[in-house]
């Protein structure tokens, strides 16, 4: 019989799917690495499991322990699924700009969720970085995951996502384009692909309100680049250790409005029901048009599922309230 021993064995080996309509004006083939086929409906299942396995292996996470993390939802989902199978408790700290669906989903899979204000400095004691760090110090038999600086995050993508893309494209990939949050996806996949073929170009998609693009271009951490934004999952007001700026060839920034409009278009024109950062990623690909030629094979990674955003860009009242549609 052909079956998985538990849900964790279904992580990875996601499909690669051609985009047809949205990319019609590009000269090249554009393929989506479609990560919502993971059991938690996002790419983050891969790194969540890897971070847990590495922490178990070196004793940071002990039997019956509590997993603590600041998460925008997808990492939490991956951690929660692994915790159920492996017998751990979870406490997640989220920023209040994240969609309500994400909080409800975390609770549905048994996690305790603490919601913190978005509009405070990262070192403010109320910020979700500070609260998750403090809980990690105060809770007995707990492990603070810290996906931003945890090297197992990028390693998961180096060991699974990168090799899958290389194999699925038969080594023909020329460009990889992906949204950047913790940096785990771009750094792990980018490192693996460049080791196979150093000519492959790695492009990060950033948001307005985030520091990455300017830092990559100038080496300056410019606080003027930081302001609140709507896009979820990508962009940061810190420099996570998981962002390997050396393997990234460039960043392109996508507006909140474009991210939402293109997330809707992916659903309506490509039958791809995806989250907010997929809209940013495909708009990023379109913005990079001048970098592509006829024989190029561009892979864009789509991180998470549209069901987490039904109250936002898939709701026209919300789109109108935000001024994104008339």
- Would you please indicate which residues are annotated as catalytic (active-site) residues? 44
Cα–Cα distance measured from residue 212 to residue 221, given in angstroms and rounded to the nearest whole number: 8
| Phi, psi for 208 (deg, rounded to 5) | -70, 130
- Residue closer to ligand PMP, measured from CB, 45 or 65: 45
Nearest to 178 by CA among 12, 33, 48: 33
Closest distance of CB 82 from ligand PMP, Å: 16
- Residue closer to ligand PMP, measured from CB, 70 or 136: 70
- Residue closer to ligand PMP, measured from CB, 201 or 305: 305
Binding to ligand PMP, residues 22-61 (CB under 6 A): 44
Q: Which positions ≥6 away from 268 have C-beta within 8 Å?
A: none
Cα–Cα distance measured from residue 256 to residue 283, given in angstroms and rounded to the nearest whole number: 11
User: Is position 74 an interface residue for ligand PMP (rule: CB under 6 A)?
Assistant: yes
Cα–Cα distance measured from residue 116 to residue 132, given in angstroms and rounded to the nearest whole number: 10
- Residue closer to ligand PMP, measured from CB, 65 or 92: 92
Contact 35, 304 (CB under 8 A): yes
- Tell me which of 184, 190, 209, 279 binds ligand PMP, using CB under 6 A: 184
| DSSP H or E stretch at residue 66 | strand 66-70
- Residue closer to ligand PMP, measured from CB, 65 or 192: 192
Provide the token pair at 281: 């990623």
Contact 14, 38 (CB under 8 A): yes
Cα–Cα distance measured from residue 81 to residue 7, given in angstroms and rounded to the nearest whole number: 8
User: Is position 279 an interface residue for ligand PMP (rule: CB under 6 A)?
Assistant: no
| DSSP H or E stretch at residue 297 | strand 297-302
Q: Which stretch binds ligand PMP (CB under 6 A): 6-14, 109-117, 178-186, 218-226?
A: 178-186
| DSSP H or E stretch at residue 144 | strand 142-144
- Tell me which of 70, 183, 190, 209 binds ligand PMP, using CB under 6 A: 183
Closest distance of CB 313 from ligand PMP, Å: 12
In the complex, which residue's CB is closest to ligand PMP?
A: 233
Closest distance of CB 306 from ligand PMP, Å: 11
Nearest to 32 by CA among 257, 285, 248: 285
Closest distance of CB 87 from ligand PMP, Å: 25
User: Is position 12 an interface residue for ligand PMP (rule: CB under 6 A)?
Assistant: no
Closest distance of CB 189 from ligand PMP, Å: 9
- Residue closer to ligand PMP, measured from CB, 66 or 74: 74
Binding to ligand PMP, residues 223-262 (CB under 6 A): 232-234
DSSP 182: S
- Tell me which of 76, 181, 279, 306 binds ligand PMP, using CB under 6 A: 181
User: Is position 130 an interface residue for ligand PMP (rule: CB under 6 A)?
Assistant: no
Cα–Cα distance measured from residue 119 to residue 97, given in angstroms and rounded to the nearest whole number: 9
Tokens 């290389």, residue? 166
User: Is position 180 an interface residue for ligand PMP (rule: CB under 6 A)?
Assistant: yes
Q: What is the dihedral sign for C-alpha 308, 313, 318, 321?
A: positive
x/- track of binding to ligand PMP for residues 281-310 (CB under 6 A):
----------------------xx------
Task: Enumerate binding residues for ligand PMP (CB under 6 A).
Answer: 44, 72, 74, 179-186, 232-234, 275, 277, 303-304
């Amino acid at each position: 019989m052909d079956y998985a021993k538990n849900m964790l064995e279904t992580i990875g080996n996601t499909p690669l799917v051609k985009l047809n309509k949205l990319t019609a004006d590009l000269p090249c083939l554009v393929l989506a690495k479609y990560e919502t086929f993971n059991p938690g409906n996002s790419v983050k299942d891969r790194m969540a499991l890897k971070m847990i396995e590495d922490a178990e292996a070196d004793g940071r996470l002990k039997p019956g322990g509590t997993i603590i993390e600041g998460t925008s939802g997808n990492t939490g989902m991956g951690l929660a699924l692994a915790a159920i199978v492996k017998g751990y408790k979870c406490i997640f700290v989220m920023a209040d700009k994240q969609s309500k669906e994400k909080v409800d989903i975390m609770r549905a899979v048994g996690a305790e969720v603490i919601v913190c204000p978005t509009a405070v400095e990262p070192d403010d004691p109320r910020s979700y970085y500070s609260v998750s760090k403090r809980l990690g110090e105060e809770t007995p038999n707990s492990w603070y995951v810290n996906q931003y600086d945890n090297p197992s995050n990028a390693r998961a993508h180096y060991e699974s996502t990168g090799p899958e893309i290389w194999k699925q494209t038969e080594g023909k990939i020329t460009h990889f384009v992906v949204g950047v949050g913790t940096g785990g996806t771009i750094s792990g996949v980018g490192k693996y692909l460049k080791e196979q073929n150093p000519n492959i170009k790695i492009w990060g998609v950033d948001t307005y309100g985030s520091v990455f693009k300017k830092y990559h271009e100038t080496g300056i951490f410019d606080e003027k680049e930081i302001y609140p934004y709507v896009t979820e999952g990508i962009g940061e007001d810190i420099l996570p250790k998981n962002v390997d700026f050396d393997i990234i060839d460039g960043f392109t920034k996508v507006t909140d409005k474009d991210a939402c409009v293109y997330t809707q278009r992916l659903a309506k024109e490509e039958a791809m029901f995806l989250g907010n950062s997929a809209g940013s990623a495909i708009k990023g690909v379109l913005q990079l048009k001048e970098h592509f030629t006829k024989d190029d094979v561009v892979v864009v990674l789509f991180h998470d599922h549209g069901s987490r955003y039904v109250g936002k860009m898939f709701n026209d009242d919300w789109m109108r309230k935000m001024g994104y549609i008339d």
